[in-house]
Amino acid sequence: MSDIVERTVTLHRPARRPAALPQRWPVETVEAMFDLPFAELLHRAQTVHRENFDPRLVELATLLSVKTGGCPEDCGYCPQSAHYDTGVDATKLMEPGEVLQAAHRAREAGATRFCMGAAWRAPKDRDIEKVADLVRTVKSLGLETCATLGMLEDGHAQILRDAGLDYYNHNLDSAPEFYGDIISTREYQDRLDTLERVRGAGLKVCCGGIVGMGESRRHRAGLIAQLANLQPYPESVPINHLVRVAGTPLAEQDPLDPFEFVRTIAVARITMPRARVRLSAGRQQMGDAVQALCFQAGANSIFYGDKLLTTGNPDTGADLSLLHRLGLRAGQPEPK
């Protein structure tokens, strides 16, 4: 077991426990996997990766904030929350022409998926129609499209699907037992309900979480178990490393042991063998060696570009150089 001590924070609210899911991966089984010797865990993860994917291919996905700041949620990690003074100014939704230019630059740099994020709790009908226009704009370039807009109401996912959206991102963030320590303005079940609406519309699901927020290893196992027990599990699983932003409640959180992050990637790969497991926020702080271990552990997707919503990211030249040095190449990893 990890010796990381759970953090007591003032944000704690009791979270409503989500509806029971089929326990294909009990938390105890997932936690035992985390406890394996490091080399053994990486060997198992790499074996699973090779059985399901070409291990040389890494997806390049670009994330653009199309509407930044002013979010009414109180997520303790987020610089876009209106509850915290982080220096992030609220902006209006970008126009299609602006998004088209950004998507064109991303495609020219080698990205194959273009993700659009908007800082809403839940978009209104008029917002969905405007985002649908953005989706059509990006699809005209032949890119895969993804959007993360907050909670969706009935009918919203269908509108986005009809506009050409491929994936909808809605992260669980953490294990249900830890969730109330991080956010009080949205319940865990709200997230599961949005995922159900996305699946019901026939969209692919992009869903992951954040580690390094002061959670225990048991909580990390609980997050992975929640994801792996979704029916079906997500096609795309972003694993974020907390970026500590001044002004947020987690700004002074102790850094997570980098090997624990690698373990999380490995366990995600083993439990969700045919998903694209993505290195997301926090790569800039990891360094090349930790990222290399993550690829060895089964990561086959990265967020690519110099910015992720409002936080920094390695530049494209550094990423392409790292892939080359590791004998990897950009491409669309498809399950065998």
Residues annotated as catalytic (active site), given as ranges: 71, 75, 78, 115, 146, 206, 278
d(CA 190, CA 202): 19
The alpha helices in 26-66, defined as continuous H runs, are: 27-34, 38-52
d(CA 294, CA 298): 6
Amino acid identity at 300: N
Rounded to 10 deg, the angle between the 125-139 and 96-108 helix axes is 40
> Residue 236 burial by CB count (10 A; 0-12/13-18/19+): exposed, middle or buried?
buried
Question: What sign for the dihedral angle of Cα 178, 180, 186, 192?
Answer: positive
Query: How many residues are present in the chain?
Result: 336
Identify the helix (H) or strand (E) that includes residue 127: helix 125-139
In Å, how far are 138, 147, 216, 225 from 134, measured between CA atoms?
6, 10, 39, 34
